[in-house]
Structure 1
Amino acid sequence: MLTVDEAMALVLKRASPLPSTGLALMDAARLVLAEDVAADADQPPFDKSLMDGYAIRAADMPGSASRFRLAETIHAGESSARTLGPGEAAAIMTGAPMPAGADAVVIVEHAEESDGEVTLHPPAAVKVGQHILPQGRVYRRGDELLKAGNELTPARIGLLAAVGYATVRVIPRPELTIVPTGDELVEPGEIPAPGQIRNSNAAMLAALAIDRGLAPRIRPIAPDEPKALAAALATGLESDVLLVTGGVSAGRRDLVPGVLESLGVRQVFHRVRMKPGKPLWFGVGPTRGSRPGTLVFGLPGNPLSGLLGFVLFVAPALERLAGRPHATRGMISGRLARDCNHRSDLETYRLATRSSSVVEGPFEVDILDSIGSADVLAAATADGFAVFSPGDRVFARGEIVRFLPMR
């Protein structure tokens, strides 16, 4: 049986970035750029005024106040065809190009305009370049602005628009399908018969995927019958990632591994030295043209097992597929809020909350009382999992432990 780290390494080894595609700019937010981007022009493309005021020649303003003939008015989006002469000023708006001959701007608050003239009385000497952004000051044509691998934040989307990108090559969001299995399941809106339970796992897993920017597809509940189960799983193999819930343990009706094998999915591992979620199954489907084989995760049917399996293994794989190569388990450190008696030969993940009131040092981790891997109520109040290494011991209050956030 593999350790968690060994299993993680096998998952990430098979999770390569998806082939790039061209998308409309507004559909590319938060995706990973798949091409280098260079400036197509200087920015700004001209010397521009940074303030509403009056463009002048700084040499014409030797004293504290001077009168100028008002030669023209230049609005943003306009340009001047004349050269500013001695003793002339041009009324200029923020963002407008400077007229030829002018080399400074005096703001409108330091001016009085009357009868085609303007008197300027700045509080300090006017300097060349005052309130002007020179051409190319932000970047020059041909400058590299973004590199492949950059995530397209809102500001970077704006930068792409500024350099003329209506479409852009990116690593697409992975496609994810969820197939719940089990004769004991009914949909959330149904009343369970004796021996049945509602299908909560699919909704929980879908919400985890949505929280990461995906649009998962949830298939109808697949019965514990080989032919029907194969038909349901085959539809999921059209996606980049397939999550199967239930049917991967050691029961007589745990048919998922065998059915996946019959569909050409190659098992990579089955069972991990962890609690909960030990029966977790992972494999890779056949290649799909230019796209790699589907990553298939068989998650145990107990809710906490599925929740932990997603956060621990599925989420990093999704990050890798989306072009983020440094995806890891995302562990952080916290300090136990109380003593914890741990007895297990497996790496154990216990539901916990984290305190945000700590001013200095690691936050506090408080272990929640839970009745086991079916305790969805405890999961609903948790912030993540406290992680305990194999072995029997008491972890004392204040001791540093690893913490796996759910988000």
Structure 2
Amino acid sequence: MFTVEQALDAIIAEVAAPVAARVPLGESLGLVLAEDIDSDVDTPPFDKALMDGYAVRAADVTSGRAELRFLEEVMAGQVPTRAVEPGWATRIMTGAPLPAGADAVVRVEDTQFRDSKEPAVVAIDGAPVTVGQSIMRQGTSTQRGQRVLNSGTPLRPQEIGTLAESGRDQVAVYHRPRVAILATGDELVPVNEIPQPGQIRNSNESMLAAQIQRAGGEPVPLGIARDERANLRERIEAGLACDLLLLSGGVSAGKLDLVPSELQAAGVRQVFHKVRVKPGKPLWFGVSERSKKDANPIHKGCYVFGLPGNPVSSMVCCEIFVRTALRRLLGIEPQRPLAVSARLEHEYRHQGNRPTYHPAQMESSLTGRTVSIVSWQGSSDLRATTAANGMVCFPAGEAVYSAGTVMDVYPW
């Protein structure tokens, strides 16, 4: 039986390095950049006003008071036609280019425009004006040729805006993996049906699809496979066309736990079966090599996870193990689950013969992170996890953890 670390090592070793593909910029959110990006322009591309007001020479308004002759008006998108000379001012709008000769902008609230004179006069009454006031110089944010984003950067809205600013309407990213999800079991019914005696709703499919989507993958639900070899075999073959295949249920040692043998029959090579972890001990992982008939496969194979059927077991295994494979395929670092430290809010007694990932609620404050253990009845108690935002990892054994003990917490 593998330890958690051995299982993570095996997954990282088996899953191929990510492959880049070019996509429209609008489809890149949540993906990982697969190229270095240099700016092709200065940002801003000219000295610009940061507020509505008047472009002036600071030397004309050192006391904060002055009467300057009105020169012209420049809106955003326009170009000044006249230079600002001593004793003159140009009305300017936010984002407009600064006219030659000006070196500051006085905000409009500190001015009064008097057009009864010829030429019109701008009366200024405010604080002393300094060189550079309320303007942004060309290239202050970014200079042409400067590296703005590195390969391996996850693309959030601000990175996408930076790419647009750099003139990229398409970008090289790591492919978003397609993840087939197949629930198994005669007891399962679709979520829109009322369960009859002995039946339960197929909640795992919806839960796993949401986890995969949140982790950056593209879920491909395959419905329910019955505990019958022909039906299971047909669904497995369909799932192997994706980058990952998740099967929920059928991986323990029961009479109808057919998943391992059917995966073997489908040519999937087992890497490990069973992990020293709670919940999730029956976890199965293997690899199906791509057929040579496949036309230019993006990945070398399909990576297959047999998850336990109990919902919290499936959820925990997806967070720890499946998500590691997804991070590998997406080019995200670190690939392993990353814990944060938090102080235990209350004393807690734990016992178990395997490391246990227990649902917990973590909170942050000015004094640091604290974590409270959620009341949980085991791997079938999915509702309890709705009160949690992470998992505390308790080592195997029996111990009493006092309030204030620093624990490893894996956020959801």
TM-score (normalizing by structure 1): 0.90
**1:61 Cα deviation after fit:** 4.6
State yes or no: 1:223 paired with 2:231: no
Corresponding residue for 2:102? 102
Count of aligned positions? 403
1:377 to 354, 359, 383: 383
Corresponding residue for 1:295? 303
Matches of 1:353 and 1:64, distance apart in 2: 59
Corresponding residue for 1:92? 92
**1:126 Cα deviation after fit:** 3.5
Residues 103-124 of structure 1 show CA distances to partners (whole Å, capped at 9, x for unaligned) of 3333323333223322433444
Corresponding residue for 1:314? 322
Output the amino acid matched with 1:388. F
Matches of 2:62 and 2:78, distance apart in 1: 29
Matches of 1:381 and 1:61, distance apart in 2: 61
**Contact 1:187–1:199 (CA under 8 A) maintained in structure 2:** yes
Moved more, 52-61 or 202-211: 52-61
Residues 319-347 of structure 1 show CA distances to partners (whole Å, capped at 9, x for unaligned) of 22211120322333442623414142x22
SS at match of 1:84: coil
Which structure 2 residues correspond to residues 8-407 of structure 1 after superposition, within 5 A? 8-61=8-61, 65-113=65-113, 114=115, 115=117, 116-287=119-290, 289-333=297-341, 334-335=343-344, 337-344=346-353, 346-350=354-358, 352-354=359-361, 356=363, 360=367, 362-370=369-377, 372-391=378-397, 393-398=398-403, 400=405, 402-405=407-410, 407=412
Output the amino acid matched with 2:308. P
**1:205 Cα deviation after fit:** 1.4
**Contact 1:336–1:398 (CA under 8 A) maintained in structure 2:** yes
SS at match of 2:363: coil
Residues 51-90 of structure 1 show CA distances to partners (whole Å, capped at 9, x for unaligned) of 2222233444566544333221111110023333443322
TM-score (normalizing by structure 2): 0.89
Identity of aligned residues (%): 42
**1:260 Cα deviation after fit:** 1.4
Matches of 2:268 and 2:309, distance apart in 1: 20
Matches of 2:6 and 2:226, distance apart in 1: 32
Output the amino acid matched with 1:252. K
SS at match of 1:356: strand
What residue ranges of structure 2 are gaps of 5+ in the alignment? none
**1:190 Cα deviation after fit:** 2.8
**Contact 1:358–1:364 (CA under 8 A) maintained in structure 2:** no
**1:388 Cα deviation after fit:** 2.5
Matches of 1:405 and 1:198, distance apart in 2: 28
What residue ranges of structure 1 are gaps of 5+ in the alignment? none
Matches of 2:99 and 2:208, distance apart in 1: 61
